[in-house]
Chains A and B, each alone.
Chain A
Amino acid sequence: MTTRWFGAPVQRVEDDRLLRGHGRYTDDIDEGALECCFVRSPYAHARITSIDASEARAMPGVVAVFTAAELPFGGVDLPLLIPHPNLTHGRTQRCLASEVVRYAGEAVAFVVAESRYIAEDAAERVQVEYEQLPVVITPEVAARAEHLVHADVPGNIAAEMLQEVGDVDAALASAPHRKKLGFRYERGAASPMEGRAVWARWSEAERKLTVYDSTQSPTSIRGGLAVLFGLPESKVEVIAPDVGGGFGPKIMLFYPDELLVPYAAMQFGRPVKWTEDRQEHFTAVNQERGQVHDVEVGFDADGHVLALSDDFIHDGGAYTPYGIILPIISAAQLPGPYRIPNYRVRFRDMYTNATPTSPYRGAGRPHACFVMERTLDAIAAELGLDRIEVRRRNLIQANEFPYDVGVAWQDGNTVVYDSGDYPELLDRALKLLGPKPPGDSIGMGLGIYVEGTGVGPYEGAHVQVLVSGRVVAATGIPSQGQAHATVWAQVVADELGVDVKDVEITSGDTRGFPWGVGTFASRGAVTAGNAMHVAARMVAEKARQIASDHLEADPADLELVGGQVRVKGSPDRGMPLGAVAVLSNPVRYAFGGGTEAATQFATKPRPGRPLQDGEYPGLEATGYYSPPGSTWASGCHAAYVRVDPKTFRLEILKYVVVHDCGRVINPLVLQGQIEGGVAQGIGGAFYERLAYDSDGQLRNASFMEFLIPYATEIPPIEIDHIETPSPLNPLGVKGAGEAGVIPVGAVLASAIEDATDIPITEMPLSPLKLYELSR
């Protein structure tokens, strides 16, 4: 194949309409929709003793107030997305709570009105009486089990899992040096700039439900709604239109609104819309990152890690809708790029009276990376060795792939790194970082990580050449800004020999492609990208077959170049792809485009039926890609920081990233992913902390107090790449979406400790935290 588009810094095709204000986000869709508002629990743990919505229902402009009692599915537990044998006490919430609320912000009633203004007025008039129950906040308090989040879950333990590779006790016992360490990571939030939103319309005439949802997984929403409402999937259309950032929590299956809005639309015969406001986003949308780790490490005098034991508790929140993916990832990714011959990890997933957790960009990895990198720093400090040298001595070498870590991965396989060159990452990062700038209170930090990307089970794609010669392609996964319309077009354009501008991509619309999984876990490029490649290659093959009859050449001698199928070495012997599209259909009807060209190539009579077994009309194909296992991206970040010795303000003087995501489809898009990820990492390390108080109230539920960095807080990021292609997929790509964020906490912790001599064992930090630690 030619590689003209693949790897090129193609400017985004989606920009024009977004820049003109013609993007179409869920809240932009109106059509006279009724608007909604939730009544949410003000308490983190309480028994509901009564709900009286009569006053609210009587207000002008109020169409309905639903409580659990009014819903046919009011008593149904919402799905548990990913069951696991170790999740012995999985619990999910109901659409609307009717007995007990287990986090502040849990939905209790749902108001449907003529406008959001009226809905908010009415929500204030819904009288809910609560009897407060003891609140369990933080995983440490949950582990003490003095009070229970769920009365029937002993010890607040949703799941427990123990894994061991080698013989940790024996290795620790014989290790020349042993050290015990404790680490803590607090909750953060993804906070996409667009909150969540759902719009739905029911057509009685067609008996068809149409839902616009700012989700990362429209295909799964479709499946669930079809079952709940007893409709064939073909009668449920779910579209993720433009989505204003996702970063993980826009996929949960189901948030209550994703059922209630369609249900209300079916009840009232009018479109219904719910758009989350920023305040409720802080408590109603899933969060992540809370973990507490107890580590014991054994090592030799040269700094080689001989054994590592980690026992951690994970703050799961009030329910486990997403199973135990997060602690599984943390456990699996903790060893990272390092050779740990004896590794034992145990975790307990704890219920707390806080918003449920599900993956947020990085998903279990930033905390794992923090623990591993801090441990290596501690080893270096203990032995008086250079931090970089200790890392170098423990890195898996480039000739050791595939490398089997031996612990369980989220897809049910074990963790096997497919390719990489970690020492090269380190060398390049150090080179890029350069010498330490002059001045006081300056520190250097560094972190290396791996990331399992491109998790299955599959994605699919449909590619079609139109008779105009233009190409349309669709996949099920939506975009939240990852430039799918550009990068898939690059993949398809290469296979079909057309210009990238002639390829139009539809994604995240079940009408365009009904099957798929979703955009999360750095999987889009690997799964959907390869599906596009597979489908486009099938189309190319079909084009060669059809054209071979007419060009009187063997298909193997044909190539697709410049919008033509032509004989290799004889550019004059070719036909336009549009003409091939005309010929692909035994029925002729088309105007223009390739039609006229095709008349020069009248269908050759051939024996048998016009469409023979296995043939289908149209120059199109549907292809799927199902990865054999995750492909492992990696990277090294390093930084120089200055910490003001008096105010403890952080200044990042230089931040460098060397990244390996296999073959790069579009360096501009990749650069944007990494720059954005690092910024989010810096936010999570030094600015953003979800501050719950002991009664479970989030004290900083606004952008005034939850401090997402502005441009002034984010330095320029210098980026370099290496490419170790993945042997697992045809394109050789690995995921890159989460790469930027993973090691930032570890890097800044190391740099700040280096600058201040303040021991850092927790995240996030702040000037206040550093001031207190310095006392």
Chain B
Amino acid sequence: MRVNGVEHAARNDPRRLLSDHLRHDLGLTGTHVGCEHGVCGCCTVLLDGAPVRSCLMLAMQAEGHEVTTVEGLARDGAPLHPVQQAFHECHGLQCGFCTPGFVMSVVGLLAQNPRPTAQEIEEGIAGNLCRCTGYASIRRAVHRAVELSGT
């Protein structure tokens, strides 16, 4: 599978979850694991550009696909991706554990719908749990990300 543009050899371990493969085989620990039953959204990555739960996929299922993790949004030293920048400006994170999942969900949302309404933003972030922020600053961050992404 290609992860953040780099081809990686398969690991023949059928039951290995994609989340574990990314974190522990490829060392991409920015993808977090919060529940392993698909509710919290911490493990959200892009599969061929669309956000999915990496805890609800087997690593072998990602063979032949392009996976993007939070590490793939802005290369080291490069400026933050507009969604990351917006989270920073709006204090959209505290402990940072849910943050990569939110960022990937929002990147996916804006890719599909660059000008979401307030209601669409609400629903767009409603599949991720955050226990620190109460979502207010995340909501603000998504609105800001729309501005920063705008042309």
Contact = CB atoms under 8 A, between A and B. Distances in A.
Tell me if chains A and B make direct contact, with any CB pair below 8 A: yes
Highest count of chain A CB atoms <10 Å: which of B24, B89, B132, B137: B132
A11 interface: yes
Interface in B18-62: 23-24, 27-37, 39-40, 42
A672 B88 CA distance: 13
B95 A481 contact: yes
A172 B101 CA distance: 56
B94 A482 contact: yes
B3 interface: no
A126 to B, nearest CB: 20
Contact of A247 (B71, B131, B135): B131
Interface of B: 15-16, 23-24, 27-37, 39-40, 42, 69-71, 73-74, 76, 80, 84, 87-89, 91, 93-100, 103, 122-123, 125-139
Interface of A: 11-12, 14-16, 18-25, 27-28, 30, 117, 190-195, 242-245, 247, 277-278, 480-483, 668-669, 671-672, 675-680, 702-704, 708, 710-712, 714, 716-717, 740
A19 to B, nearest CB: 4
A540 B143 CA distance: 43
Nearest to A482: B94
Contacts of B95: 192-194, 242-245, 480-481
Main secondary structure of the interface of A (DSSP, over half): loop
27 contacts: A12-B88, A12-B91, A18-B96, A19-B87, A19-B96, A27-B23, A192-B95, A193-B32, A193-B34, A243-B95, A244-B34, A244-B96, A247-B131, A278-B37, A481-B96, A672-B94, A672-B132, A702-B35, A702-B39, A703-B37, A703-B129, A704-B37, A708-B129, A708-B131, A711-B126, A711-B130, A717-B136
Given A244-B96, A278-B36, A481-B95, A19 B84 contact: yes
A676 B29 contact: no
B132 to A, nearest CB: 5
Contacts of A25: 29, 32, 97
5 closest Cβ pairs, A-B complex: A21-B30, A244-B97, A481-B95, A679-B134, A481-B94
Contacts of A243: 95
A506 B42 CA distance: 26
B29 A714 contact: no
B104 to A, nearest CB: 10
Nearest to B75: A20
A49 B23 CA distance: 40
Nearest to B27: A30
B127 to A, nearest CB: 7
Contacts of B70: 19-21
Contact of A277 (B36, B136, B139): B36
A11 B144 CA distance: 15
Contacts of B103: 19
B89 to A, nearest CB: 7
Contact of A710 (B16, B24, B127, B133): B127
A27 B133 contact: no
Given A20-B70, A704-B37, A676 B91 contact: no
A714 B39 contact: no
Contacts of A15: 87-88, 93, 96
Given A703-B40, A716-B139, 19 more contacts: A18-B96, A19-B70, A20-B73, A20-B76, A21-B70, A23-B30, A28-B23, A190-B131, A193-B97, A193-B129, A193-B131, A194-B95, A244-B95, A481-B94, A481-B95, A481-B132, A678-B134, A710-B126, A710-B128
Contacts of A678: 134
Given A23-B30, A194-B32, A194-B34, A30 B94 contact: no
A195 B34 CA distance: 7
A672 B137 contact: yes
Contacts of A672: 91, 94, 132-134, 137
B136 A710 contact: no
Contacts of A716: 136, 139
Contacts of A669: 91
Nearest to A483: B94
B130 A193 contact: yes
B23 A193 contact: no
Contact of B123 (A23, A680, A702, A712): A712
A485 to B, nearest CB: 12
Nearest to B101: A193
A30 B20 CA distance: 12
Nearest to B83: A19
Nearest to A244: B97
A220 to B, nearest CB: 20
Given A278-B36, A672-B137, A19 B80 contact: yes
Contact of A193 (B24, B37, B42): B42
Contacts of B28: 21
A214 to B, nearest CB: 10
B3 to A, nearest CB: 12
B73 to A, nearest CB: 8
Given A192-B131, A278-B34, A23 B96 contact: yes
Contacts of B137: 671-672, 675
B126 A20 contact: no
Contacts of A23: 30, 96-97
